[in-house]
Amino acid sequence: MSTGRLDLSDAVECVAEDVRWRRWGASSTTAEGLRAPGASTISTARGSVHPAPGEVLDRLPPGQRSNRTVVGYFSGVELRTVDDIGGTRADEIEFEGEWFEVEQANRWRWGNYLEVIAQRVRR
């Protein structure tokens, strides 16, 4: 029975591969009052990651639009954005050997996937 909603999940699954992602633990405060990052864990999830097309960049605030932006579609994982209050860094996804920090993570309207927009990390 049709729900009247277009579902592109099968199309995404055809190009999905194992994508490495990193989750950071909560940070702590040193005796000097500085914030020290928590330890990280690297895992894999099924997904498809590619450079963000213009229509995705248009959804970002002007200061965040760059050619260092990727978009990914993931199943079976909930990726997180930064939590300044809780002191937790945003999750990161790997694309072409570089790490990208999750800026936005929302349910994709065309299927049962998490759509992630991420910016390249500079360290």
Q: How many domains does the chain have?
A: 1
Prediction pTM value: 0.77
Read off the CATH number of the domain in which 71 is found: 2.40.10.270
The alpha carbon of residue 105 and the mean position of all alpha carbons in its chain are separated, in whole angstroms, by: 6
Torsion 67-73-79-46 (CA) sign: negative
DSSP state of 37: P
Give the residue numbers spanning the domain of 64: 9-120
How far apart CA 78 and CA 49 sit, in angstroms, is 15
Which pLDDT tens digit goes with each residue over 13-44? 667 899 999 999 877 888 898 877 788 999 99
In this structure, is residue 38 part of a structural domain? Answer: yes
Residue 2 placed within a domain: no
- Among residues of the chain, what percentage have pLDDT more than 70? 84
In a domain, 74, yes or no: yes
Report yes or no on 1 lying in a domain.
Answer: no
**Residue 104, domain member (yes or no):** yes
Burial tier of 70 (Cβ tally within 10 Å: 0-12, 13-18, 19+): buried
Which residue is it, tokens 């405060």? 29
> What percentage of the chain carries pLDDT values higher than 90?
33
User: What is the pLDDT at residue 11?
Assistant: 57
Q: pLDDT tens-digit profile of 100-121?
A: 999 989 887 666 778 888 989 8
56 backbone dihedrals φ, ψ, rounded to 5°: -75, -45
Radius of gyration of the chain, Cα coordinates, nearest whole angstrom: 16
Going by the DSSP 8-state scheme, the letter that residue 7 receives in this structure is -
Classify residue 14: in a domain, yes or no.
Answer: yes
Residue 50 lies in a domain: yes
Residue 3 lies in a domain: no
- Cross-strand partners of 29: 35
